[in-house]
Amino acid sequence: MPPSSRPLRADARRNREALLAAAREAFLAGDADAHVEEIARRAGVAVGTLYRHFSTREVLVAEVYRQEVDELCAAPAQLLAQHPADEALHAFLLLLVEHSATGKGMEEALDSIMATDSPVFDEAREGMARALDQLLTAGVESGVLRDGVSGRIVLRALGGICGMRATGWEDDAKRIAALLCDGLRHGAKGTLSSGPRFDDGRHVE
């Protein structure tokens, strides 16, 4: 977050967004050791400007990750506007898998804030759990998902496979996302079909 709670001027806001974009690009490209000077150069600003927005490199790394999570956790409202709640949940679980892949790309950069007191990871987990709760509640209310399962439980279930480093983890995670959705549909009040499904979510006729 900016050091001041006052709204940023338009030019300052553009500089901050450019710095975040440059840092994200560097980290995802595998340049985990990108120096602040290089990030500032890519953003087209002076190093002093970077430090006015982010007091340390670790603060910048944390803010890049926080921005990724904020964008992810804003997705449920749009998904629910476009899809039935169970399909919206499945789509969001796939976004969580994609987020995990992005996190692995940033893994070395994120290691730099592991030893700090940054609350960014706890905040991320809480935000993702709340986003899942939003989808689960909508599914229960519309009768397409079973009641009694929290977003935190679903996040833990998916997080187990997403945390693995084994080859093919991403494809396995997508299959598990589909299985989780099928399990949450089972016993739902308004489920139209309780027949078996393929692991991509399609009904077996």
Tokens of 113: 């804030």
pLDDT of 91 > 50? The answer is yes
Instruction: For each of the domains in the chain, give its residue range(s) and CATH number, in order of start.
Output: 10-55 (1.10.10), 65-185 (1.10.357.10)
Give per-residue pLDDT as tens, 5-58.
555 678 888 999 999 999 988 887 777 677 888 899 999 999 999 999 999 888
Quote the pTM value.
Answer: 0.80
Structure tokens at 133: 């709760």
Q: Cβ distance 64 to 106 under 8 Å?
A: yes
- Inter-residue contact 172 to 158 (CB < 8 Å): no
pLDDT digits (tens, 9 = 90+) for 129-171: 999 999 999 999 999 999 999 999 999 999 888 877 677 888 9
Distance separating alpha carbons of residues 50 and 43, to the nearest angstrom: 9
Residue 158, Cβ density class (10 Å: 0-12 exposed, 13-18 middle, ≥19 buried): buried
pLDDT at residue 191, as a whole number: 60
